[in-house]
Amino acid sequence: MKKTVLFLLVLVFSLHAGGRKIIIDCPVNDIAEFEQVAAMAADFGATHVMISHLPKSRWQWELDRYDPYSNWGMLNPALFKIVVPDAFTGLLPQDYADKNLAILKQRVKILQKYNLKAAMNMCEPAWLPERVWEKYPEWRGPRCEHPRRARNKYYSPCVDRKEVLDIYRNAMAQLCESVPVEYINMLTNDSGGGFCWSASLYPGPNGPTHCRHRPYSDRVTGFLSALQQGAADQGVDLEIAVRYGSGQIERAEVLSVVSELKEGQSINGLTATGQIDAESVGYSFYRSMVNPVIGIPQPIRFVRSLDQAFRNKDADIRIHLTSLQLEEHFRLLEQFDNHHGYTGRAQLLFKTASGMVGEEQAEKLIEVWDHICRATNRLNTLVGDPIPLVGLINQRWLNRPFVPFPMQLSKKVKSYYRPFQFQANSEEDAADLMNLQGFEIINGYSGSLLGKIAFEQAVSGVSAAISALEEIKISDQKNKAEFDLLKKRLRVLRCCYRTALNAIAYQDILDRTDYENPPEEENIYPVEGSQKLRELQNITRAEVDNMVELISLIEDNPALYLELAPTAAEEDIFIYGPDIVEQLKTKIRIMLDHELDANRLYIRRQG
């Protein structure tokens, strides 16, 4: 990626008006990429950079590979994953924490080189393994797992205990001694973390009896203050923004905390004065709606959030960049100069597109972006977790076979995908394509119809983007190669959306099938046969052909198109392995081997 140039002075001054923070959050693979992010952040006047994209805490999943829920927790950094307190020596992995601390120290040195400050994402108070509670039973806090997504119980520490707060304070002081982090964006009541007796804990309000009647605001502010005091012990002025996750958010509970917040504390975007603490620009890969495909720009979506964020002159700004590859988003940041409102956004998009393909073809490129935006927006209307993530990745739609009798597949046959499929309740639920992490967001004929319509429109939108992109003529070979890659990635995305469409349609037919009463076929001529059988056969063939096309697109270099683990050993429930092409070939073979199993369920055609 080219090093971005300086923003216009007007923007730089506006960013720093009132001393607000501008925080850049972009995942990186190595220290060289982190320096790219830091250099870019310094160029356009940012104040902070997130340093907390760390190796997953895979040791948490290794405690029980049969339980998928810890995959959520291992995505998120936590204080004791970086600094192991003396009380937990031998109970938490020291080597993992040491590795993380070394990474953070390296990144802070780079930030200091560019006169930038460190910020971090954390999930707190985060769950700890049972061996901790066996040694310190009085410190056991609330259960914080999702009951329908976990096979085990997960407990976070009780922060109403003075001893526990002292441990957190000392650990934060130890962190800030070498890594002076000045801003923490803290997720709670989600992903394996949470506070005692919060109404938004997944299992419901729970915790130790001794702290049940303590005011919730005291619990939260006391914890945040302990962390801030630990930072202050090292001369660091720490600000913490707490946000609830996907649990049931109790407005009354949040508001009870807001009025009691101390300096440098906020919850769900509100400070003690009721002001919004920060505005967000962009989106994370989690909400990108293009999973698992990488490098798909969404400039219209991005510029809309850019406009909205900078309308608030008082709030801090958090800028989310899903990848260094999305040059379009960097160009928008580079050229933004208070382009507010529909006209302002249109002018910025035209200016950015002109810089990439020239003024004569700028509108055609904007048309490409518009089609992508319409496709992803349509999928955003489906409620719940993003379907491209929980379906195509977590439930392994992309590489698992669609067969009429999934429960009859042997463990050996399923071994390449089942261990990486997010399913906690039962094997019957795991066999259901529409059981998405314990929920059936898409269910029944009407629900399936709406889901299919959404993905049909997404497929159409991506197809239109491909067609518009093909009309753009690029003479520069480097730029042509980049646009050719984007076209190929869009074709890969279209294949992924087709798989989602086929999965919804396939399970809908199985759900409306009578498995208890096999069909009684008679030797009568002609017989039209079952409509369900014909539809199932057509979906099977469509998905097989779709996989053949996908393989042809990615087999030269799968990591150029899909987010993949670097090694097979690092594959998990949130990421496919590098052998994805072989997995897709296995899927095709299994589907073809079991295609005629459907004859056991429906009357066949004779004619």
253 and 216 Cβ atoms separated by less than 8 Å: yes
Structure tokens at 394: 């977590």
pLDDT of residue 9: 31
Which string of DSSP letters, residue by residue, matches 396-407? -TTTS---S-GG
In angstroms, the CA 436 to CA 72 distance is 14
What does the pLDDT read at residue 13?
A: 36
Helix axes of 477-511 and 531-554: crossing angle, nearest 10 degrees: 160
In SS3 terms, 69-133 reads as CHHHHCCCCCHHHCCCCHHHECCECHHHHHHHHHHHHHHHHHHHHCCCEEEEEEECCECECHHHH
Contact (Cβ atoms closer than 8 angstroms) between residue 153 and residue 201: no
pTM above 0.85, yes or no: yes
* Rounded average pLDDT per 10-residue block, the chain, 607 residues: 37 50 94 95 92 97 96 96 98 98 98 98 98 98 96 97 98 98 96 96 96 97 98 98 82 92 95 88 91 96 93 90 90 86 94 95 97 96 90 98 98 97 94 92 91 97 98 91 96 98 97 92 82 96 98 98 97 98 98 97 89
Do residues 558 and 581 touch, judged by C-beta distance below 8 A? yes
**Amino acid (one-letter) located at 291:** N
> Which amino acid is located at 197 in the chain?
W
Distance CA 66, CA 44 (A): 46
Q: Are 330 and 282 in contact (CB under 8 A)?
A: no
> CA–CA separation, 281 vs 317, rounded Å?
7
d(CA 363, CA 350): 7
Predicted confidence at residue 250, as pLDDT, reads: 81
Q: How far apart are the first and last CA of the chain?
A: 61
Q: What is the DSSP annotation of 259-327?
A: TT--TTEEETTB-TTS-B-EEEEE--GGGSSSTTB-----HHHHHHHHHHHHH-SSSEEEEE-S-TT-H
CB 28 within 8 A of CB 324: yes
